[in-house]
Amino acid sequence: MQRIKAALRWDTRSETAKTLFLLAIVIGGTFGGYGIFMLAMGTTSPLVVVTSGSMEPTLYRGDLLAIQARSEDNIQVGDIIVYVDDWYQASPIVHRVIEIQEQPDGTKHFFTKGDANAFIDPEYRTIDEILGVVVFTVPAVGNVSIWMRGGGYIPVIILFILILFGPEIYDYLKKEDTDETNSDGLEEATNDTVNA
């Protein structure tokens, strides 16, 4: 029983093992939290970043949006929605609902327009294309995501690895340097003893 307790003791673990364990907890917690957020918001994409200026001055490029799924009866004129479209697949589109037309079969067609755009969008949206309605925004936070999509993530990853494992690498190299110095001194002492 003592051996099991000793094996589970945190202070007997190497710094690398502790770091990897904490990293696993952070990553697991992040994905778990995001999964719960997805369930709460009712959509697979609860967070979206504005990537164009079509909604200025209401929303700006780089704003982070939280969206919530809604039934078509709960989407109103004036709501800002996020939708996907076949003609623009690069990222979801964020525009305002400016008109709703109910069809004879009971379905609704949503006509949208960007606040900064002169014309309405070319086609209507159906509920199947709508990811959700914007419920709150966090200004400028999404700029990090836009920056990283442009290749800026590589230096960030390198910096993260250096911060995470730098002390371990430094200690390892320092230990090897000390071992070499000790073995050189031992070798010289051995040579002096043999020559005497």
Tens digits of per-residue pLDDT, 136-146? 999 999 888 88
- Please give the pLDDT value at position 164: 84
Which one has a higher pLDDT value, 34 or 113?
A: 113
What's the confidence (pLDDT) of residue 7? 58
Q: How confident is the model at residue 71 (pLDDT cuts 50, 70, 90)?
A: very high
Mean pLDDT score across all residues of the chain: 85
pLDDT number for residue 184: 56
Residue 146: per-residue pLDDT: 81
Q: Please tell me the predicted confidence (pLDDT) of residue 183.
A: 59
- Looking at residue 81, its pLDDT comes to 98
* Extents of the domains making up the chain: 1-41, 47-141, 142-178
Evaluate whether the domain defined by 47-141 bears CATH number 3.40.50.1820: no
pLDDT band with cut points at 50, 70 and 90 for residue 175? confident
pLDDT category at 182 given cuts 50, 70, 90 is low
Per-residue pLDDT at 161: 85
Give the catalytic positions in this structure: 54, 95, 121
Polymer length in residues for the chain: 196
187 or 40, higher pLDDT:
40
Mean pLDDT in residue range 105-126: 95
C-alpha span between 41 and 161 (Å, rounded):
33
DSSP character string of the chain: -HHHHHHH-GGGS-HHHHHHHHHHHHHHHHHHHHHHHHHHHTSS--EEE--SSTTTTTS-TT-EEEEE---GGG--TT-EEEEEETTEEEEEEEEEEEEEEE-TTS-EEEEEE-TT-SS--SS-B-TTTEEEEEEEEETTTTHHHHHIIIIIHHHHHHHHHHHHHHHHHHHHHHHHHHHHHHHHHHHHHHHHHHH-
pLDDT above 80 (res 21): yes
Q: Predicted confidence band at 165 (pLDDT cuts at 50, 70, 90)? A: confident
More confident residue, 47 or 184: 47
Strand pairing partners for 95?
81
